């Protein structure tokens, strides 16, 4: 149900097609959520028949018709309701930590490899986030909306950086 709220949030910024929503998920939302195309279209349909959004078909000259989804007042209310609702702090799930937890079953060199591979990937993710942040840095402090959006990216950056430090510590002290 988080996905439904996130979509409402995006529709709150501007009316959009499922296709555009997917692009937003892949570009600006990817540091804290990801969503499958099919899931997006299905959730959109649900939002419409719950009355949280409406659809308008907009014809285009060259490209396919846009099924433009607009948030309704009920949708806006649902969004605000979710936003102020203390969200149960669901346990973060990290498959990689599962691997580390049981990695003692592996020979030493495989453990080292597991960790250093992860380090490379984490660094790559961090670099990606850092380059994303470059495009917004200046104007971020300006209005509250941009500030908060940028803040979530900063969070992701801090998390990745903390993981790098942790990886280095583990690799150094592993008996």
Range 91-130, binding DNA (CB under 7 A) = 93
> Where does residue 137 rank: exposed (0-12), middle (13-18), buried (19+ CB within 10 A)?
exposed
**Separation CA 19–CA 33 (nearest Å):** 17
Instruction: Identify which of residues 18 and 129 has a Cβ nearer to its own copies in the complex.
Output: 129
Please report the sign of the dihedral spanned by the C-alpha atoms of residue 106, residue 109, residue 117, residue 171.
Answer: positive
Among 10, 17, 126, 163, binds DNA (CB under 7 A): 17
106 binds its own copies (CB under 8 A): yes
- Report the partner that residue 66 touches, choosing among its own copies, DNA, none (CB closer than 5 to 8 A by kind): DNA
**Separation CA 32–CA 157 (nearest Å):** 11
- In the complex, minimum distance from the CB of residue 128 to DNA, in angstroms, rounded to a whole number: 17
Stretch that binds its own copies, among 5-13, 42-50, 59-67, 129-137 (CB under 8 A): 5-13
Build a one-symbol-per-residue string for 18-57: x at contacts with DNA by CB under 7 A, - elsewhere: xxx--x----------xxxxxx-xx--xx-----------
**Separation CA 68–CA 56 (nearest Å):** 5
C-beta of residue 16 within 8 angstroms of C-beta of residue 28 = no
Cβ atoms within 10 A of the Cβ of 106, count?
A: 13
Beta strands per DSSP E along the chain: 53-58, 66-71
34 binds its own copies (CB under 8 A): yes
Build a one-symbol-per-residue string for 80-99: x at contacts with its own copies by CB under 8 A, - elsewhere: x-xxx-xx-xxxxxxxxxxx
Task: Point out which residues bind DNA (CB under 7 A).
Answer: 1-4, 17-20, 23, 34-39, 41-42, 45-46, 60, 62-68, 90, 93
């Amino acid at each position: 149900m988080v996905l439904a709220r996130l979509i409402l949030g995006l529709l709150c910024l501007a009316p959009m097609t499922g296709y555009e929503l997917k692009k937003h998920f892949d570009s600006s939302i990817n540091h804290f959520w990801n969503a499958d195309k099919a899931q997006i279209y299905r959730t959109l349909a649900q939002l419409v028949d719950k009355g949280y959004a409406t659809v308008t078909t907009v014809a285009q000259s060259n490209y396919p018709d846009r099924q433009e989804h607009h948030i309704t007042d009920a949708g806006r209310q649902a969004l605000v309701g979710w936003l102020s609702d203390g969200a149960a702090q669901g346990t973060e799930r990290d498959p990689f930590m599962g691997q580390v937890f049981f990695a003692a079953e592996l020979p030493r060199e495989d453990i080292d490899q597991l960790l250093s591979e992860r380090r490379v990937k984490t660094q790559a993710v961090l670099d990606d986030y850092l380059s994303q942040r470059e495009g917004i840095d200046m104007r971020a402090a300006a209005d509250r909306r941009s500030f908060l959006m940028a803040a979530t990216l900063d969070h992701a950056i801090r998390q990745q950086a903390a993981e790098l430090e942790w990886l280095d510590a583990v690799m150094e002290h592993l008996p």
